[in-house]
Structure formats: structure tokens, C-alpha cells
């Protein structure tokens, strides 16, 4: 059963700070994904060192997933799905980095 929660006011400063931090995180994730879409040797070498092979297609696929997850999390109605996708993506990143240590 849903109950009514009274509206709480948020100060303009808190609202702008939250939007600024969110924009910086989204911008960082988009730049990260876009860097993988381009066939730069540095990106290909890093993907090879992690253990995925030195294929440009793998880098482009990871970049596409990164940009797609960023787009999904940016749209308010799909932000929950985007958060779940990012959790899976970043969980895989952590596991991949732990495997090379």
C-alpha cells in the first residue's frame, strides 16, 4: 500500500550542486566510452593487457556499451535500468582488473 509523503523543498544550491555533480559523472563516462570507440593504439594495448585480446572490435563494443549505459542512465524514466546496467558493467570492470593483479 502506498502512502502519501509530503513534498519536501530542496534549496536551489543543493539542486544545482546535484545537477553539476551528475553532469560531471555523465560527461566522464561519455568521454571514457567515446575513447574506446576510436581505434587508438593505447586503448587496444590496454584491452590486450587485461586479457580480452587486441581486437578493435572488442574496444568498440565496450565503448558502445559504455555510451549506451550513459545514455540510459541520463534519461529520468530509465535511470533505474541504467543504474542496474552500470552496476553490472562496473562489476565486470572490477573483476577484469582483479584478474590481472
Express the helix, strand and coil content of the chain in percent, nearest 5 each.
Answer: 80, 0, 20
Stretch 66-87: mean pLDDT: 91
Q: Is 90 exceeded by the pLDDT of residue 24?
A: yes
Instruction: Using the predicted structure, report yes or no on whether residue 66 has a pLDDT greater than 70.
Output: yes
Closest by CA position to 51, among listed 2, 6, 93, 5: 93
90: pLDDT strictly greater than 90: no
Global pTM reads 0.75
pLDDT-derived band of residue 28, with 50, 70 and 90 as boundaries?
Answer: very high
Residue 75 has pLDDT above 70, yes or no: yes
CA–CA separation, 70 and 30 (whole Å)? 6
Domains in the chain: boundaries: 12-100
Amino acid at each position: 500500500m502506498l502512502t502519501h509523503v509530503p513534498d519536501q523543498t530542496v534549496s536551489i544550491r543543493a539542486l544545482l550542486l546535484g545537477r553539476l555533480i551528475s553532469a560531471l559523472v555523465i560527461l566522464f563516462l561519455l568521454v571514457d566510452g567515446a575513447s574506446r570507440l576510436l581505434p587508438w593504439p593505447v586503448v587496444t594495448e590496454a584491452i590486450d593487457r587485461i586479457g580480452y585480446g587486441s581486437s578493435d572490435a572488442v574496444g568498440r563494443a565496450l565503448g558502445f556499451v559504455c555510451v549506451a549505459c550513459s545514455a540510459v542512465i541520463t534519461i529520468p524514466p530509465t535511470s533505474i535500468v541504467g543504474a542496474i546496467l552500470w552496476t553490472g558493467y562496473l562489476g565486470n570492470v572490477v573483476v577484469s582488473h582483479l584478474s590481472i593483479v
